[in-house]
Chain A
Amino acid sequence: MTSVFESVGLIFLQLFEQTGLWFRMLWRTIVWTFRPPFEFSSWLKQMVRVGVESTPVVFLTTMFTGMVFALETYEGFHRVHAENFVGSAVALSMLRELSPVLVGLMVTGRVGSSMAAEIGTMRVTEQIDALKALATDPIQYLFVPRVIAGVIMLPFLVVLGDALGIGGGYLVAVKLLGSNGLIYEQNTFQYLGMADLWAGVIKAATFGLILTLTGCTRGYYTSGGAEGVGRSTTQAVVSASLTILLTDFFLTKLLL
Chain B
Amino acid sequence: MNNGQPIISLQNVEKSLGGRPVLRGMTIDIAKGESVVIVGGSGQGKSVTLKHIIGLMQPDSGHVYVMGQDLCCMETRELNTFRQHFGMAFQEGALFDSMNVFENIAFPLRRHTKMTEEEIRARVEECLNQVHLHGVETKRPSELSGGMRRRVGFARAISLKPDILLFDEPTTGLDPVISDVIADLIVEMDQTLNSTTVSITHDMKVAFKIADRVAMLFHGKIIEEGTPDQFQRSQNPMVQQFIEGRAEGPLTE
Name the residue among A122, A130, A133 with the largest chain B CB count within 10 angstroms.
Answer: A133
**Which single member of B56, B80, B107, B156 contacts A129 (CB below 8 Å)?**
B56
CB-defined interface of A97-137 with B at 8 Å, one 1/0 digit per residue?
00000000000000000000000001001110111111111
Determine if B108 and A135 form an interchain contact, defined as CB atoms under 8 angstroms apart: yes
How far apart are the CA atoms of A136 and B76 in the complex, in Å? 10
B18 CB to nearest chain A CB (Å)? 10
> What separation, in Å, do the CA atoms of A136 and B82 have in the docked complex?
11
A37 at the interface (CB under 8 A from B): yes
Q: Is the CB of B81 within 8 A of A126?
A: no
The answer for the CA separation of A126 and B89 in the assembled complex, in Å, is 11
Which residues from B are CB-within-8-Å of A136? 80, 107-108, 111
Count of inter-chain pairs, beta carbons less than 8 A: 56
Bound-state Cα–Cα, A133 to B86, Å: 7
Tell me if B92 and A126 are in contact (CB < 8 A).
yes
Q: Chain A residues near B77 (CB, 8 Å)? A: 137
Are B83 and A134 in contact, with the CB atoms below 8 A?
yes
Partner pick for A132 among B83, B87, B92, CB 8 A cutoff: B83
Contact in complex: B111, A126 (CB < 8 Å) = no
Partner of B96, one of A130, A132, A135: A130
Shortest distance between the CB of A43 and any CB in chain B (Å)? 15
A250 CB to closest chain B CB, in angstroms? Answer: 33
**Please, how many angstroms separate the alpha-carbon atoms of A137 and B87 in the complex?**
16
Instruction: Pick the most buried of B54, B84, B94, B111: most chain A CB atoms within 10 A of its CB.
Output: B94
Interface residues on B, range: 20 to 34
**For residue A125, which residue of chain B has the nearest CB?**
B94
Tell me the chain B residues, 91-111 only, with Cβ under 8 Å from chain A. Answer: 91-92, 94-97, 107-108, 111
CA distance A134 to B83 in the complex (A): 7
Contact between A134 and B156 (Cβ–Cβ < 8 Å)?
yes
Q: How many Å from the CB of A249 to the closest CB on chain B?
A: 36
Which residues of A are found within 8 Å of B56, using beta-carbon distances?
129, 132-133
Interface residues of B in 168-204 (CB under 8 A from A): none
Question: B90 on the interface (CB 8 Å rule)?
Answer: yes
- Contacts A37-B111, A125-B92 known; A137 to B54 CB distance under 8 Å? no
Q: Distance (Å) between the CB of B40 and the closest chain A CB?
A: 20
A126 with B76: CB separation less than 8 A: no
| Distance from B91 Cβ to chain A, minimum over Cβ atoms (Å) | 7
In the docked arrangement, what's the CA distance between A165 and B120, Å?
50
Nearest B residue (CB) for A37: B111
Report the bound CA distance from A91 to B27 in whole Å. Answer: 70
Contacts of B207 in A (CB 8 A): none
Q: Which of A122, A130, A131, A137 contacts B76 (CB 8 A)?
A: A137
B94 contact set on A, CB distance < 8 A: 125-127, 129-130
List the B side residues contacting A122 at CB < 8 Å.
Answer: 96
Q: How far is the CA of A137 from the CA of B111 in the complex (A)?
A: 11
User: A127-B96, A127-B97 are known contacts. Are A133 and B83 too (CB-CB below 8 A)?
Assistant: yes
Given contacts A125-B94, A129-B51, A135-B84, 20 further A-B contacts (CB under 8 A): A125-B92, A125-B97, A126-B90, A126-B91, A127-B96, A127-B97, A132-B56, A132-B80, A133-B54, A133-B87, A133-B157, A134-B107, A134-B156, A135-B80, A135-B82, A135-B83, A135-B108, A136-B108, A136-B111, A137-B76
Q: Taking beta carbons and an 8 Å cutoff, which residues of A are in contact with B?
A: 37, 122, 125-127, 129-137
Q: Can you name 18 A-B pairs with beta carbons within 8 Å? A: A125-B94, A126-B92, A127-B97, A129-B90, A130-B90, A130-B96, A132-B54, A132-B56, A133-B56, A133-B157, A134-B107, A134-B108, A134-B111, A135-B83, A136-B108, A136-B111, A137-B76, A137-B77
- Name B's A-contacting residues (CB within 8 A): 51, 54, 56, 76-77, 80-84, 86-88, 90-92, 94-97, 107-108, 111-112, 156-157
